[in-house]
Homo-oligomer: A and B are copies of this chain.
Amino acid sequence: MKPLKSGAVIGILGGGQLGRMLASAGAQLGFDVSILCPEDRCPAARTAAQHVRSSYEDAAAVLEWARGCDVITYEFENVPVRTVQTLVAAGITVRPGAKPLQASQDRVAEKTFLRACDIATADFAEVNGPGDIAAPLDRFGGNGILKTRRDGYDGKGQLRLEAGDDFDAAHKALGNHPAILEALVPFEREVSVIIARGAVGDMLCYDLPRNQHVNGILQRSVVPCGLSDAVIKQACDAAQRLAGALDFIGVLALELFVLEDGSLIANEFAPRVHNSGHWTPEACATGQFEQHIRAVAGWPLGPVTRFHDAEMLNLLGEEAFVPPKTLTADGVLTLYGKHDAKPGRKMGHLVRRLGPAT
């Protein structure tokens, strides 16, 4: 595919806040963005040139929509693999393709893929029923996290387990879905690598943010992350191996635990722009949303030079609403246009520039 020209149409599967910010970034580069999303008033539709309502599973409808676009991308990792495969088989360019979805939708496949890239993960075991829990839990030292293999996000679909807990009840609480038991990782901090890979395989890593979660939901990301150059290089090398192995085009996030001795354990990856990169538009020469659009459009990547130390604070539920918090905050506010402020729901974020980049 040749680099897209201004006025070309970029189709995005998914209508959430990531699609919204991608749509705005696409418009800044002169593209028309078309959102495919089943919901009537999704956040992304309100900043995009076009919105087509369809189920992601309706491959025929998705294909019809995609034929009106010059390239397709996605903003969430649970787009059905089969839908993307249908598009690709019909000659549609999808960036990134089906492979990153296959590798990230299932936690067992994800960890297996990471290990094949020589990236360490926590110990894990497949759990197809409550009887599969006791043995690996014992092997992990009597502590672990039980997670559904699919569809978990923001701490949903997971439970801490200890030896002696009621495994039947635990597995039932996760809907008796196929699950994975993961060993606990005694991490000292969490970081992520936001990496962009262009259409010709060139790669750029943003400075790593340090991420702080509360109840499984990202609360704060801060740059710089405070790690040594050597550890940062290891993290970026790992992300490059992953992006290369996935034939990735676009922006990808690799979440990492850092142990006391500086060794790195991958938690998971997201084949898309990421919440922990939301500080990049305000702190860097090129933000992650523009970067993803550039890669998907076949344009050269933009520089990831960081100008500011910065922190990004997620605004959850009612705390996103004015007054008084966001009106008077000394930072750059982004709200996602969601009307239903359920507790814990990501409604917006605030980026505070903390001083010149150190």
Contact = CB atoms under 8 A, between A and B. Distances in A.
A48 B339 CA distance: 17
Contact of A27 (B5, B20, B285): B20
B285 A299 contact: no
Interface in A16-62: 20, 23-24, 27-32, 45-49
Interface string A291-304: 00000000110010
A321 interface: yes
A234 interface: no
B334 A5 contact: no
Interface stretch (A67-75, A235-243, A324-332): A324-332
B332 A285 contact: yes
A335 interface: yes
Interface residues of A, number: 43
Nearest to A341: B6
A7 interface: yes
A49 B46 contact: yes
Contact of A24 (B7, B47, B335): B47
Contacts of A197: none
A302 to B, nearest CB: 8
B303 A27 contact: no
A47 B28 CA distance: 9
Given A6-B337, A32-B337, 4 more contacts: A3-B322, A5-B321, A32-B46, A46-B49
Q: Kindly list the 9 A-B residue pairs having the minimum CB-CB distance in the complex, ordered from nearest.
A: A30-B335, A46-B49, A27-B47, A6-B335, A24-B24, A30-B337, A28-B334, A7-B339, A299-B327
